[in-house]
Amino acid sequence: MIIYTVRPGDTLYSVSRRFNVSMERLESDNQLENPEKLVPGQTIVVLTDNTSHTVAKGQSLYSIAKAYGITLNELISANPDIRSPGRLEPGMVITIPSPGRKLGTIYVNGYAYPGINMGLLRSVLPYLTYLSIFSTQARADGSLIPINDAPVIAAARSGGVAPIMVVTNMVEGSGFSSDLGHVLLTNKQVQNVLINNIIATLREKNYYGLNIDFEYLFPADRDDYNSFLRDITVRLHALGYIVMSAIAPKISANQPGLLYEAHDYPVHGRLMDHVIIMTYEWGYTKGPAMAVSPVNEVRRVLNYAVSAMPPQKILLGMPNYGYDWTLPFVQGSSARQLTNPQAVALAGTVGAHIKYSPTSQAPFFTYYDQARRKHEVWFEDARSVDAKLRLINRYGLGGASYWTVNTSFPQNWLVLSSLYDIRKVI
């Protein structure tokens, strides 16, 4: 796999000639929405063996290695005939090696809403271990709000993917509720009803396990949440179900804030089979423009996480979306959410060149709308996906978890399957 970044003047034809790969293959693999108009800064994933590169004036082995996303040592090893690596002549043809063996085998979870397009779902199932169906909401009396999940469960199982029930403390027609969480965690009678209803649903609908996604809990409910996790995992493990949880991206044990304080990393690490760390939403709908999942911030979270729980239980949160902010940022304003292919298409429409932040390891661009308002767009591409997925190997994590698989992002799956084999459990 080579991740190529489009340069001004590039066409699909010129890229295909560069790598000796057909235009049809590039278009099909990347599912390019507008192959006739490539956007400078756009990425194209090239699935190929070793290829050749003609040295241009001013290029060095270091700059060439960086352009192709390989290490300098890999490039030097592939070109033993170069006796003076520090001096390249324009016109010289050198070999660009494809990456070696995969980094390992990992678990991959994907969140999906019940209304996901079934064709899209079938296309991503080969890359998933688990499909977490979002979400079954708990009521204050311990009952559950039913969802139409049967078609998705059946599709997942037929595709060799384990369907996972997601239970949340979300209020019907609204969002996560601290008050609802408090009732569910502090009233033992309600809690017993809730657990019994969860078990009944797991059995009735042929789920493989449970994903507990309780967010914005009151800090004072931390111990009660831990107690609930102990009770439910004991019961579900005895019945043969796996249990995972979704937790906030913390950088320290005592990080303040409603999102963080009730999530006790060591307890989740001891009790859960998998722990999904939601390493996204630094850039978010109501906040200022920035990368959704900046690698430098993700590293800070992982540095704490691996000190507090077994790394192999951690599934790294991977965002599958971007945002378009109107500048200057005004408190109370909202960014527009985009799919990653929509972001590239928007750059092409407005004539923007896509840039890449070396700090955040994420693509972005700016443009002006018809009202002359400036916009800033951050999203994900093959480079940012590659940078985050490599953290799994670097930190010895168990795998990845995507929010969500409801929208198409073909390059992600090319990068993922080039780096890792996917563990299957059914």
Question: What per-residue confidence (pLDDT) applies to 284?
Answer: 97
Question: What per-residue confidence (pLDDT) applies to 115?
Answer: 97
Question: What per-residue confidence (pLDDT) applies to 19?
Answer: 85
Buried b or exposed e, range 44-57, using 16+ CB within 10 angstroms: bbbbeeebebebee
pLDDT digits (tens, 9 = 90+) for 162-187: 999 999 999 988 999 999 999 999 99
Q: Which one is catalytic: 215, 261, 297, 376? A: 215
* pTM of the shown model: 0.91
Report the C-alpha gap between 172 and 136 in whole angstroms.
Answer: 10
In the chain, domain spans: 2-96, 104-319+384-422
Judge whether 215 and 167 are in contact, CB under 8 Å: no
Judge whether 128 and 161 are in contact, CB under 8 Å: yes
Question: What per-residue confidence (pLDDT) applies to 86?
Answer: 78
Report the C-alpha gap between 146 and 162 in whole angstroms.
Answer: 20
Environment class of residue 337 by beta-carbon count within 10 Å: exposed (0-12), middle (13-18) or buried (19+)? middle
What are 37's two structure tokens? 């108009």
Question: What per-residue confidence (pLDDT) applies to 1?
Answer: 86
Residue whose tokens read 């060591």: 266
Report the C-alpha gap between 73 and 331 in whole angstroms.
Answer: 48
What are 13's two structure tokens? 């034809």
**CATH no. for 2-96:** 3.10.350.10
DSSP conformation class of 370: T
Question: What per-residue confidence (pLDDT) applies to 308?
Answer: 98
State which fold the 104-319+384-422 domain adopts.
TIM Barrel (3.20.20)
**Active site annotation includes 36:** no
Instruction: Tabulate helix, strand, coil % of the chain (nearest 5).
Output: 35, 25, 40
Report the C-alpha gap between 184 and 142 in whole angstroms.
Answer: 7
Question: What per-residue confidence (pLDDT) applies to 282?
Answer: 98
- Which positions of the chain have pLDDT values less than 50? none
Residue whose tokens read 């009803």: 193
Report the C-alpha gap between 1 and 332 in whole angstroms.
Answer: 42
Question: What per-residue confidence (pLDDT) applies to 100?
Answer: 61
Report the C-alpha gap between 287 and 271 in whole angstroms.
Answer: 34
Report the C-alpha gap between 121 and 355 in whole angstroms.
Answer: 31
Question: What per-residue confidence (pLDDT) applies to 82?
Answer: 85
First CA to last CA distance, the chain: 28
